[in-house]
Structure formats: structure tokens, C-alpha cells
Structure 1
Amino acid sequence: MTDGFIRGCVLPPHDGAPYPRADLDDIRLPVDIGLAARVPATVRLELTGPARLADITYRTAHPPQGLRGEAGGSSFSVWSGQSQLADVEAVVGEGVARVPLGPGTTTVYLPEAMSPTVIDMSGVDGSVHPAPPAPRWLAYGDSITEGWGASAPARSWVARTSRELGLDAVNLGYAAAGRGELAVAEMIAATPAEVITVAFGTNCWSRVPLGTALLEATFRAFLTVLREGHPSVPVVVVSPIVRPDAEHEPNRLGATLAGLRRVIEETTRSLRAEDRRLTLLPGGDLLGPEHLADGVHPDDAGHELLSVAIGQCLAGALQPASSPT
């Protein structure tokens, strides 16, 4: 049985997607969101117990595939805090992965690139139990939130931050998408959470170009819908990180990435006047071009820097509203 062990998934299984990250039955969902949501990014097992080893019985649907290749996850990656304990390669079809357990909570990231399904969990010479529940963090964004550029799913900024702060990260980052879709905002509004991050804008420059006025309206609408379900939950807004080819290059509607970033930041500051549980982290100076794996997505060092900066904001946002931050 796997009840309680799976973390990072808040939706029931769907055809061909045992751990979907969006409501795949919502006909309003853009196609690119639906495709990205089938990847179980940051879905993982969290377990503890007297056993020092555990067997994970699983099934995968195919070899690693997609733009991320093996960097998208082809193994069961085992972590205790920020220390990696093991990396057990997954096979195509059915298999059993024997993994070590560390002290406290052990986190096992799934082979995301192989469409895995966990069938059973069992301890070896002892019992294993689901780790205690953690505060839920809904992390909305694009491919940078999903984890692109990191050498493995466990090294993305979302995965790093969730381990560091002890949060149950639900990764709602959608590669090639994440543009403030209201259908996703409604899903977030309906999902219980203790903290939320919103980090989008890069794909509003290129994939589906937006002008500055349209982005401002989209961003305000997204936060308005989100706040309908979470009127007092802390929300951290991270504006787009650096992208050298887009900073000062107008898109087809005349907007540069620097201009789109400025709109997100100015709108957040304006909204914060009436919403003190809203925090802004300007993203433009968090990384340099040397921290990008491909000119767009952070490499491992870049993801680590994002984890430190965003983690500090999350820790501050999670303090009681009356506490100084």
C-alpha cells in the first residue's frame, strides 16, 4: 500500500497520469498545461521508521523521454535533508527499488521522465511509515519552477527549498506554459495550503506574447481569483529571473522582459498596500547569466541560489502576520 507515502500530489489519478498536477478534465485548460501536468514534477515518497531499508514496487511506462531527457528523472533519488543517500536507477516496466533510509524523514524522488506508478511500499527487516504531514506549499510557475536546467529533479529550487523548510511542496510549474491561466488559479484557490508562491512572466514574453497592459490585467486577475480561496494565506510573488536575449528585445507586442518584470513588481507593490500577506521578491538580480544552463533555465548553482533567496522569503512569510519580517 502507498497511502500516505506519496507527497506533492493533490489530485486523483487520471488516465495515463497517476500523479497529475492539474485538473486534466477541465476543458478550459490550455493544451501545453495539460501536457506538462502529466509529468510528476517533485512528486515523491516521504517515509520514516525503524527499518534501515525499504523496497519500492513500481511500474514505469517508457524510457526517459522529452526535452529534459535523463535530467527529467530516471532514478529513485533518495535524500535525507540536503544529503543524498542513494540513486537507484529505474527499469522500464515493473521493478523493485531497494533504498536506504536515513534518520528522521527520508525523501525519495520518483523517476519523473518515465511516467512512474508506485504500487507498494515495504520495510526490510522492520516497518516503514509515512512521514508526519508538513505544511503545504503550492508553487505556481513555468519550467523554471518545474525544475528545468537542474541536473536532476531533486536539485530543483522547489525540491531544495521544501527539504530545507520542511514543506510539502506541490509543484505547479508548467514547462512552456505558466502564464497566469485562470483555470489554474481556480484550482489553486480550491486547494488548501499554508503558503503559495507565484513565479511567472518569462513565457509571456515569448511563448504566448503579452503586452504590458495585458500582463498587468492577467496578473491582477490571477491574484484576485487566488485570493478568493485563500484570503489570508501568505503569497510570495517572484518576478522573472534574468534572460539575456529577452531583457531589452521587444516581443511581437512591443514588450521587453524587463518591462514585463517591472509590471509584475509594480502591480505587486500596489496590491500589497491592501494585502499585507503578499510579498514581492524581485527576480531580475537573483542570478547572473553565468548561472543559466541554456540562457533561460538555471543550472544547479542557479537553482541553489533561487532556493536560498526564495526560501528566506517563504520562511518570513510563514511567520504570524503580527510578527516582524
Structure 2
Amino acid sequence: MDDSPGLITTPLTDALVRGALDLERTARGGLLPHRLPARARAQFGGDEQVAQAEAQPSGVRLVFRTRAAAVELDVLRTVVAYRGVSPRPDGAYDLHIDGEPAGRATASGGDVLMVDLGDGSQETLPGRIGTVRFDGLPGREKDVEIWLPYTEVTELIALRTDAPVAAVEPGGRRVWLHHGSSISQGSAADSSATAWPALAAAAGGVELINLGLGGSALLDPFTARALRDTPADLVSVKIGINIVNLDLMRLRAFGPAVHGFLDTIREGHPTTPLLVVSPILCPAQETTPGPAAPDVGDGQVEFAALGDPAEVALGKLNLRVVREELARIVEERAGEDPGLHYLDGLALYGEADFAELPLPDRLHPGPAAHRRMGERFAAVAFGPGGPFAAPR
């Protein structure tokens, strides 16, 4: 889009973007953030789910220093929609000034990826570039962050302000690298900045790289290598719900796959504090194995488990089995790996929480539950004596 009168256009560069592992220069001259590197993206095997999830920029934000009172960001978003399902709210762009929430906006236009949940077919409906605008900002020198939506692939086209912009050095904060499922990516939270890992990172005073991948926390070797090769001071992996949802493997394969995943991470982070987190409560899959499938009724989606509980005896996985196995593996390894820790996901969201704050679609926690999970994780992990506590 054309420059607005009186605004300065600043080239979009790597120095202005945090939380992405790769930035792709597009045909429009914009930047497309990726949360997995090119090598990993070459190994998806055509899986549209992981391709979509890694390009949805959860935890990715523009960071710069400026005296500007007005900021405009041109974007071309790709929104996912489902035939017969009520449209989701537009993705939120959260503005932070000097680390504090200071506004929220949405973008218009963009492409629409229309998905048929019945047969899995997809169709892309092209749209136009939209503009996100924040104005009335304090005229003093300040650090500005714009958190991108976790629900929308976001191509960054242009940045305009009414005062010059400068890149901001990270500032020496510890870097926390987290991997998990759609719950870690932010599903059902209000925004990327209010997903539970972002809230925990803010409380812990650390720099977040969020590798939560909706439907795709599957112990993939390419994800393990991405974690291995990404510099970080703290690493956590939340494992289990997607493996059960997809009925991906049985107990015999699960344990060795977890060991291999952790072994690969340790190749790049041999002594870094490494926290293994098991699934939060999900009553539909506590005792019933997968697969899980969406059920569309009255324009809303709810998830149901389709497996047979009797098959757990034959090695099928439910969430209770997954928690037991993860606890066992961490306990066995911890003797030779004192930096390895375990956190039961039920400590973040359990039965009492479900009674008070039920899962809206029977799978993902809502905004209030995300806040609670962020607070609890921060207290357990970053608090005194926690595995991520700041060294004295």
C-alpha cells in the first residue's frame, strides 16, 4: 500500500523481528516469518497441518525503539476458515510499550484458506493487503513490540511511523525455547501475547521462542533438530496430546521416540535446563485412546475421542499412560542428566480447573485458563527452586 502522508517507511529486516527461526523474503518484497527453519520445512512430507502451524507466527513480534505516536503495519494475512463452521475472530495484534500491554488491533483483507472438515479438501480465496494501525502513542522514546496473531499466517509488507525507528538489542535476557501442541501455540487464547507461554515468559523475565505447533507436537526428528540447533538458555517440551489425538504410535514406539527426541535436543544443549511437561487434563482422552475427530454442530466444533479404552491393554495410548511413561523416562534419565526435569501437566490445569473453566471445544483451554496456566508455570518453573529459576 502507498505511504500515508507524514509517515516514514522503515525497511523490514531481520533486526526488527523476534521469535522466528527463519524469515522468507516474498515476491512482494515482504517478510514471511517461519517458526521452523528451511531444513525442517523440507522434511514435512507434504503435511499441510505442520506447514500451516509453523507459519502462524505465535510468539513472533516486531520490536523497535521510536518516539513515534503513530505506527502502521501493512500485512497480507492468510486466515483459515472451515465450511459450515462459524468464522473465528480476526487475529489480534497486541501492542506493548516498554514491556506493558498498550493496545490491540486487527487486520482486514487477506487470503482465506477454506477447509472442508468432511473430506479435507482446501481452497484458497485471494484477498488484499490490510493495514494494522496504532496511534495516540506517547511521544517519548520507547520500546515498541507488536505481537503477531497465532491464528493467521502473516506476511509483513511495510512498516510506517511518524518518527524514525531503530532496532533494539535483546538486552541480555535469558532465552526460553518452548515446544508443544496447539495449546502452546495459543489455541483459544485471546492473542499470542496472552497464550500461556507468553504470559509465563513475561512473568519470568525471559525472551520467548514459541515452537508450539498446532496438531504437530509429534516427536518429529526435524523438530528435535530445530530445537537442538536454536541457541537457548532454557528449553521445555510439552509432549503427548497430539500423539494421542492422532493415534500416532503405541507404547512400544512412544518411549524410544521420547528418548530419541531428548537425545537430539541434548546434542545441542548438553547442560541447559530441560523441562519435560506432560499433557494438561483433557477428559475426552484421559482413558480413551485416539484418534480424536472434530464434530461440527450448530456451527461450532467440538472434539471427540473415537478409540476403544479396551485397547489400552494392547499398547494404545491415552493421556494417563502418556503421563506415567514421561515421568518414568525423566526419572530414569535424571540420574545422568541433572538438568532434566519433569512437570505433570495436571499441575497447570487439572480436574478442579476443568470444573471451573471447562474446555470450550473439549480440547483447548479458553483465555482464563491460559492465564491460569501461565501464572502456574511461571511460579513452578521460574520461582525459587524451580528448574528455570534465575541463577544467583
Residue of 76, 84, 105 corresponding to 1:60: 76
Q: TM-score, normalised by structure 1?
A: 0.86
Matches within 5 A, 1:130-145: 130-133=167-170, 134-145=173-184
User: Which among 9, 26, 31 is matched to residue 20 of structure 2?
Assistant: 9
* Unpaired runs of at least 5, structure 2: 1-10, 110-127, 291-306, 308-314
Aligned-partner residue type, residue 2 of structure 1: L
Note the C-alpha offset of 1:297: 1.0
1:276 corresponds, among 338, 351, 368, to: 338
What is the one-letter code of the residue matched to 1:229? G
C-alpha contact (below 8 Å) 1:199/1:238 kept by paired residues: yes
Tell me the CA shift for residue 239 of structure 1.
0.7
- The corresponding residue for 1:33 is 50
Task: Give 5+ residue unaligned stretches, structure 1.
Answer: none
Corresponding residue for residue 48 of structure 1: 65
CA distance in 2, matches of 1:165, 1:41: 18
Corresponding position of 1:23: 37
Q: State how many pairs are aligned.
A: 319
Match of 1:129 among 151, 154, 166: 166
Are positions 1:308 and 2:343 aligned together? no
By how many angstroms is 1:115 displaced? 2.8
How far is 1:74 from its partner?
Answer: 2.6
Q: What SS does the corresponding residue of 1:303 show, helix, strand or coil? A: helix
Cα shift at 1:114:
4.2
Shift of 1:155: 1.6
2: distance between equivalents of 1:81 and 1:201? 36
Counterpart Cα distance in 1 of 2:86 and 2:226: 26
Q: Which has the higher strand share?
A: 2
Quick check: 300-309 or 92-101, which moved more?
92-101
Tell me which residue corresponds to 2:278. 239
Once the two structures are superposed, residues 133-190 of structure 1 have per-residue CA deviations (whole angstroms, 9 ceiling, x without a partner) of: 0432211111111111213322211221233333322221111120111111011111
- The alpha-carbon deviation at position 194 of structure 1 amounts to 1.3
Tell me the percent identity: 22
1:194–1:86 Cα change, 3 Å: same
Counterpart Cα distance in 2 of 1:302 and 1:34: 27
Q: 2:363 aligns with which of 296, 301, 319?
A: 296
2:103 matched residue in structure 1: 86
Partner of 2:252: 213
Tell me the amino acid that sits aligned with residue 129 of structure 1.
Answer: A
Q: Structure 1 counterpart of 2:91, which letter?
A: S
Cα drift, residue 108 of structure 1: 1.3
Bigger mean CA deviation after superposition, 1-10 or 282-291: 282-291
Aligned in 2, Cα 1:186/1:212: closer, same or farther, shift over 3 Å? same
CA distance in 2, matches of 1:80, 1:64: 30
Q: Distance in 2 between matches of 1:303 and 1:106?
A: 24
Q: Which residue of 2 aligns with 1:117?
A: 155
> Is the alpha carbon distance of 1:208 and 1:24 closer, same or farther for their aligned partners in structure 2, counting shifts above 3 Å?
farther
Distance 2:362 2:79 in 1: 27
CA distance in 2: counterparts of 1:163 and 1:44, whole angstroms: 14
- 2:132, 2:150 → 1: CA distance? 15
CA contact (8 A) 2:274 2:340 kept: yes
Superposed CA deviations along residues 35-90 of structure 1, whole A, max 9, x for unmatched, are 31121122112233333x2423322144564689545x534221347853222221
* Pair 150,112 (structure 1): closer, same or farther in 2 beyond 3 Å: closer
